[in-house]
Amino acid sequence: MIISPPFALLEELLGSRTDDPRLAGLHRAHGLRPPPMFPARDGWDGMGVPEQGWEMAYKATVRVPDRYPSPRVRGRGPVIGHVTKVYITESYPAPLRDGLTVALPEPEARARALDSMVAEYGNVVHVLHRDEESTFEVRYHEDGRFIWYLLTLNERAENDPELLEAAIPNARAIPLWPAPAPHEVLPAALRALKAHQDASGLDGLDFETFDRFEPDAVASWTGNDDADREFRVFGVDGSGGRVAFWLVHEGLPIERQPVVLFGSEGHVGPVAKDLCDLLYLLAAGVAPFDASMAYTADEDIDERTGPQPELARIAEIHLQRREGRTPKAIVEDAENEYADVRDRVDVLAR
């Protein structure tokens, strides 16, 4: 029989990082998937066991000085989140702080409260405890029926000067590239892909290779003319999203630089760690937008067309043979190393 975790443990975990071993142990003990990691700093998630009456909410970034902004895994990959709320509902069997239970009548809660308020939908909220780190409250329907206890990590205002000062990310060092040459030549593998595309099409794959690098594309996106020094746009999807090399490695040829996506709806993210991996992704029938968005949403990557082995042959002839590269592995490797492209674009767009 699985027993609900004691409230003292849930309270202790408030504010902890999502890579905390205690959290991982709690999730394993209650049959939950691992605590979330986030592709960007603006995400949040919630997990728990409603049947046992508890749930913990997670956010990618919390506005607390020693946790803001959230770090990335190994400095590059997914963002490490934090526990920001603990919900206790009517199924929770154990006592809470000060011996409170979910059977606490509303009049008694009102008598204990530091302050009270009427919230949305007419719910009545009584704050039972508040200190520098957290707020503990209980909520009722307007007719006095219990809804939940809520323990919340106290966060600062979005415009807090100390937090804004700390919000400059520890960005990777980008080489100081010269302005792109007006007639810069595409790598041989991309030229071969373009020739195949023109001769035979890509069998419904939502991706089109240009015959040259598109000028000013990332500069227009960011409003920063210098952005085109470190990005080279070479393809587009059906929605207008751009696919580009991100020039982050000094001394490496462009085909060994990571491939990233500028989605038409504002999504930015890595797709493949280099051109060879991108070709294997396309060969599996997966377009850049589908791969990047599915990974961000923690969904299966949809192979919308059948395999296209001729695209893998282009990679083998011009770059390298990489057998066994699955779409999931390709995008996961790119995320683990180049997820900070989102931070970099944010900096360029300031």
- Which contacts of 41-45 are long-range, i.e. CB under 8 A and separated by 24 or more positions? 41/69, 41/70, 41/79, 41/342, 41/343, 43/79, 43/81, 44/81, 44/84, 45/81
Q: What is the pLDDT of residues 262-308, one digit of tens each?
A: 987 778 889 999 999 999 999 988 888 887 776 554 555 555 667 78
Lowest mean per-residue pLDDT among 1-10, 47-56, 98-107, 286-295 = 286-295
Q: What is the pLDDT of residues 19-57, one digit of tens each?
A: 999 999 999 999 999 999 887 787 888 888 888 999 999
Beta bridge partners of 146: 140
Q: Which amino acid is it at 88? A: I
pTM, full prediction? 0.71
Contact (CB, 8 A) for 4 and 94: yes
Q: What is the pLDDT of residues 138-156, one digit of tens each?
A: 999 999 999 999 999 999 9
Q: 341 — phi, psi (to 5°)?
A: -60, -30
CA 17 – CA 74 distance, rounded (Å) = 14
Q: How many CB atoms lie within 10 A of CB 309?
A: 11
CA 8 – CA 189 distance, rounded (Å) = 59
Question: β-strands 79-80, 37-38: how paired?
Answer: antiparallel
